[in-house]
Amino acid sequence: MQAVKGKSILPGIAIGRLHIYKKDEDEIREEKTDDTEGEVKRFESARREAVSAQRKLYKKALEESGEDTADIFLVHRMILEDKSLIDEILSLIKEGNYTAEYAVREAFNREAAIIADTDDKYLSERNSDVYDTENELLAALRGEELTAVKRKEPTIYLADVLYPSDIVKADRHLFCGFVTKGGSPVSHTAILAKSMNLHAIIDTGKIDEEWEGKIGIIDGDAGDLYIDPPERLIAEFRKKQENELHEKSKLSDLIGKKSITIDGKIIKLFANINDSSEVACVMENDAEGIGLMRSEFLYFNRDDYPDEETQFKAYKNVVSSMAPKRVIIRTSDLGEDKMADNMDFDQKENPALGYRGVRVSLMRRDLFKTELRAILRASWYGNVGVMFPMLTSAWELSECIDVLYECERELISEGYQIKQVLKGAMVETPAAVLIADDLAEMCDFLSIGTNDLCQYTLALDRENANLGVFYNSHHPALLREIAMTVAAGHRHNCFVSICGELAADISLTGELLGMGVDGLSVVPSELLKVRKKIRSLDLSSEE
Ligand code: PEP
Ligand code: MG
C-alpha cells in the first residue's frame, strides 16, 4: 500500500478504482461525412448487434439473477427498437450528414432532455437506462465486445489538472472522486466537485501511472489518498463511511425548520447550483431558494454556443421546479478557468484579470441577449432574479440593465409572457465594494462573491496551488469589505447575501450575521449544516 497527502475539498470518504483520466477519452465531436450510406450501414449493423447482445444478457440475467434484474435488458432492447429514436438517428445521418457516432449521441441527448423535462417520476428514473443503452450502441460502433459483463464500479480519476468542463464530461454514475497533482480548494473545479458531492484530494504533488486499476481510498477528513490498501483498511473506511451517513441523516431533523437565530433574526438560506440535475438535492436539503445558478456550465461539453431555446428549457426546468421559491440566475461568467472547448476567446497571460464575466457579455452582446431572453422567458414559470458577475463599475451595471430592458421590450412585442425579474449585482471585486452604494442604487440585491473578492483583494490567484498558505479567506480586509457592502446595500434597501464558499464556513457564520448579512447561499450538501449553526446563534449576546 502507498499513501499520499494532499488537500481535501470535502469531508468524507470515497472508495473506488483508480483510473488515469485522459482528456477527451469519451468525447464524440460533431463531425460530418460524405459517405452517409456507409454510416447508415454502420449504425444499422451496430444496432442489430446491440439488440442481439441485449437478448443474450436478458437470458443470462433471468437464469442467474431473476426477472427484476433481467428486465433492465428488456428495457434497453425496447429503447434500441424505438422507432422514433431510430428515425431521428437516421435523419441526422442522412439529412445532417453526421457520422453515426455523433448522430447517436445527439439523438440520445435529445431523448434524455425530454425525459428530464417530464414530471413523471417513473420516466425520469429511466434516464440511466437511456444513457446505458447509448453507451452500448457507441461501444458496438467501436467494435467492442458487448456481451462481456463490463466491470462497472465507482471510479476515482487521477490527473495532473482537471477543469470544470472535464468534471461535467465524466460519467456521473460511476465517478466518485478525483485526485490531482495540482489544484486549489477555491478553484471552480473544486466548487463544482463539492456541489456534485465528489470527494477529491488535490495538490498531491504527484500522480503515478502505476496506480492505474488499483483500489483507492480518499480520506477527505485527513486529506489522504491510500493506494492499493489492504482489506482490513477498506473495511475500516467503509465503517467510517456508514457512520458519516448516519450523522448526516440526523441533520434531516432540520428539514422544514426555519433558518432563524435564537434571538429571532431570519436568514434566507439559499443553494448554489451549476445545472438542473442538482435541483433534486436542493429540495431534499430544503433550500429556501437558489442564490446562484452558475449558468456557464450550459456552455460546456458542446461544439457551439447554446441557443435561446436550449437555455430557456434549462432555466425553465429549474425555475418551475423551485417555484414559488426564488431562483437567482447569474449571467454567464465565462473566461478564466471556465472555458468551453469551442470558445474562440483570445486569452492573454493573465486570464483572471482579462476577458471574463460581464466583460465578455458586454463585448459579445449577441451571446448576452440570447442568454437574457432565455432567462426572461423562464421568468414566467416562477420567481426569478438575474445578477451580473465581475462588475467593476456602475457603467457596466447600467449597460447590463439596459440590455435586460431591451430584451424585455423585444419579448413583449413578440408576444411572450414574462414576469418582472429582480436585478442584482455581484460584489466580487474591490472596486465593486468601494462603489457598492452606486450599484445598490440601481438594483434590488447585492450578492457577495467571496471567492473572487478574496482573490482580487489579496492580489492572489485562486487557482494557484502554490499560494495556498496565503489564501486567507478570514483576512480582515475581506471581512471589512463584507461589512462595507452590507452597510451600503442596506442604505439603499437592498437585500445582501453571500454566495462564495465563505457562506458555508460555520466558523464565521456568527460574525457574518452580526454584520447584518441577510442571506447565505451554499452548496446543497452544506445547507442543513449551516441551518444548524444559524439556529444555535444568539446575536444579541455577541459582541
Ligand atoms: C465567487 O467568486 O465567490 C462566486 C460565487 O463566483 P465563482 O466562484 O463562480 O467565481
Ligand atoms: Mg466569482
Catalytic annotation present for 173: no
Residue 120: predicted pLDDT? 63
136 and 208 in one domain?
no
What are the pLDDT digits (tens) for 375-412? Answer: 999 999 999 999 999 999 999 999 999 999 999 999 99
- Contacts (Cβ under 8 Å, ≥6 apart) of 44: none
Return the bridge partners of 329, or none: 293, 386
Cα 277 versus chain centre, distance: 8
Output the CA torsion sign for 102, 107, 108, 112: positive
Residue 183: predicted pLDDT? 85
466 and 356 in one domain?
yes
- CA-proximal residue: ligand 1, atom 4 (nearest): 449
- Buried residues in 261-284 as b, exposed as e (16+ CB within 10 A): beeebebbbbbbbbbbebbebbee
Query: Above 90 in pLDDT, residue 184?
Result: no
- CA-proximal residue: ligand 1, atom 3 (nearest): 449
H/E segment holding residue 519: strand 519-522
Which atom of ligand 1 is found nearest the CA of 448? 3
SS3 506: coil
184 and 45 in one domain?
no
- Nearest ligand, measured from the Cα of 191: 1
410 and 355 in one domain?
yes
Per DSSP, which regions of 21-111 are E strands?
none
- CA-proximal residue: ligand 1, atom 8 (nearest): 451
Cα 178 to Cα 201: distance, rounded to the nearest angstrom:
7
DSSP state of 416: -
Residue 163: predicted pLDDT? 79
Cα 54 to Cα 74: distance, rounded to the nearest angstrom:
7
Query: pLDDT confidence of 334, banded at 50, 70, 90?
Result: confident
Cα 64 to Cα 103: distance, rounded to the nearest angstrom:
35
Last residue of a domain, one of 82, 108, 141: 141
Mean pLDDT across 246-262: 92
Dist. CA 405 → ligand 2 center (Å): 24
Last residue of a domain, one of 141, 169, 203: 141
Dist. CA 37 → ligand 1 center (Å): 49
Question: Three cell numbers at 39?
Answer: 454510416
* The residue to which cell 442543513 is assigned: 528
To test ligand 1's pocket by mutation, which of 9, 163, 187, 294 has the most ligand atoms within 8 angstroms of CB?
294
The DSSP secondary structure of 449-477, one letter per residue, reads -HHHHHHHHTT--TT-GGGGGG--TT-HH
Residue 515: predicted pLDDT? 97
Arithmetic mean of pLDDT over the chain: 89
CATH code, 201: 3.50.30.10
Query: pLDDT confidence of 181, banded at 50, 70, 90?
Result: very high
Query: Above 50 in pLDDT, residue 518?
Result: yes
Mean pLDDT across 536-540: 94
Any domain includes 283: yes
Specify the number of domains making up the chain: 3
What phi, psi does 519 have (nearest 5°)? -150, 155
Residue 463: predicted pLDDT? 80
331 and 457 in one domain?
yes
Query: Above 50 in pLDDT, residue 151?
Result: no
219 and 360 in one domain?
no
- What pTM was computed for the model? 0.75
Residue 238: predicted pLDDT? 94
Query: Above 70 in pLDDT, residue 531?
Result: yes
User: Pick the residue with more confidence: 6 or 352?
Assistant: 6
Catalytic annotation present for 454: no
Query: Above 60 in pLDDT, residue 414?
Result: yes
Residue 444: predicted pLDDT? 98
351 and 218 in one domain?
no
Q: By the 8 A CB rule, do 505 and 478 touch?
A: no
Tell me how far CA of residue 460 lies from CA of 452, 453, 471, 520, 538, in angstroms.
Answer: 10, 10, 7, 24, 35
Q: Residue 215: which domain range?
A: 2-23+147-232
Output the ligand 1 site: residues, CB below 6 A.
188, 191, 292, 294, 333, 428, 449-452, 499-500
- CA-proximal residue: ligand 1, atom 1 (nearest): 449
- Identify the CA nearest to 315 among candidates 359, 279, 340: 279
Residue 149: predicted pLDDT? 44
User: Pick the residue with more confidence: 278 or 338?
Assistant: 278
Query: Above 70 in pLDDT, residue 341?
Result: no
User: Pick the residue with more confidence: 403 or 342?
Assistant: 403
Burial class (CB in 10 A: 0-12, 13-18, 19+), 55: middle
517 and 374 in one domain?
yes
Q: By the 8 A CB rule, do 451 and 389 touch?
A: no
Residue 37: predicted pLDDT? 94
Query: pLDDT confidence of 67, banded at 50, 70, 90?
Result: confident
- Identify the CA nearest to 398 among candidates 443, 352, 449, 340: 443
Residue 121: predicted pLDDT? 58
181 and 42 in one domain?
no
Cα 242 to Cα 531: distance, rounded to the nearest angstrom:
23
- Contacts (Cβ under 8 Å, ≥6 apart) of 149: none
Cα 533 versus chain centre, distance: 25
Question: Three cell numbers at 345?
Answer: 476567446
Residue 26: predicted pLDDT? 60
- Contacts (Cβ under 8 Å, ≥6 apart) of 98: 30, 31, 32, 33, 39, 92, 106
Any domain includes 238: no
Query: Above 80 in pLDDT, residue 126?
Result: no
Dist. CA 499 → ligand 1 center (Å): 7
CATH code, 417: 3.20.20.60
What are the pLDDT digits (tens) for 189-208? Answer: 888 888 888 899 999 999 99
What are the pLDDT digits (tens) for 473-516? Answer: 999 999 999 999 999 999 999 999 999 999 999 999 999 999 99
Which atom of ligand 1 is found nearest the CA of 447? 5
Across 259-263, 296-300, 305-309, the highest mean pLDDT is recorded for 259-263
Query: Above 70 in pLDDT, residue 43?
Result: yes
206 and 91 in one domain?
no
270 and 193 in one domain?
no
Cα 21 to Cα 161: distance, rounded to the nearest angstrom:
10
Active-site residue, from 188, 199, 407, 494: 188
Query: pLDDT confidence of 297, banded at 50, 70, 90?
Result: confident
What are the pLDDT digits (tens) for 433-460? Answer: 999 999 999 999 999 999 999 999 999 9
Dist. CA 387 → ligand 1 center (Å): 12
Share of the chain above pLDDT 70, in %: 90
Question: Three cell numbers at 237?
Answer: 473506511
Which atom of ligand 1 is found nearest the CA of 500? 3
CATH code, 109: 1.10.274.10
Q: In this structure, which residues have their CB less than 5 angstroms from ion ligand 2?
A: 428, 449, 452
Last residue of a domain, one of 103, 118, 141: 141
Query: Above 70 in pLDDT, residue 77?
Result: yes
